[in-house]
Amino acid sequence: MSDTNANPSTPAGTPAWVWIGVVVVLVLACVGGGYWWLHSGHKTNVAMKRPNLVGTIGESVTALDTTLPDQDKMCSATLARALDFGVLPPGATLVSQEAQASQPEGHFTCQAQAADGKYSLVIDTSCPNSPDKTCFALDSVRRENGMVVYQRRNS
């Protein structure tokens, strides 16, 4: 006579150490995935904040970016923008603080000096295809030999 309750059989199924291993692997995968997502997402956002070198205006433009500064500050603001865009070498300085009116109407020119030569910075204050009364955009940058370093794309 055998008593089935005296020696219960081992339960059918997976041992406990296998389940512990599965849980550990899932936790590590979630932690690693979260770390990657947080850090790669941040790098993408930082890269997206760089200025657009072809001159198109994105959705992140503010009124401060497009508001025409005073006449005596136009050249310094344009120089700062050109340096931010990376179209002028670091250390470039203005030849004069005064912007010179040029053609077509609504365009101004500033001169900058860098270690490798002079540059002409053209500012566009006209507002094509816009209801705004004043605009401010870096239109082009040219070296003294006439080579175009930067040209804004017309929208």
Residue 122: name the closest of 95, 96, 152 by CA.
Answer: 152
108-150 per-position pLDDT tens digit = 899 999 999 999 999 888 776 666 666 788 888 999 998 998 8
* Domain ranges (residues) in the chain: 1-155
Tokens of 51: 């200025």
Q: What is the pTM of this model?
A: 0.55
What is the tens place of the pLDDT at every residue in 69-85? 777 788 888 898 888 88
**pLDDT-derived band of residue 26, with 50, 70 and 90 as boundaries?**
very high
Cα–Cα distance measured from residue 155 to residue 144, given in angstroms and rounded to the nearest whole number: 27
pLDDT tier for residue 27 given thresholds of 50, 70 and 90 = very high
**What are the beta bridge partners of residue 137?**
124
Q: What is the DSSP string of the chain?
A: ---TTTSPPPPSS--HHHHHHHHHHHHHHHHHHHHHHHHHHHHHHHHHTS--TT----TT--HHHHSPPPGGGHHHHHHHHHHHHT-S-TT-EES-SSPEEETTTTEEEEEEEETTEEEEEEEE---TT---S---EEEEEEETTS-EEEEPPP-
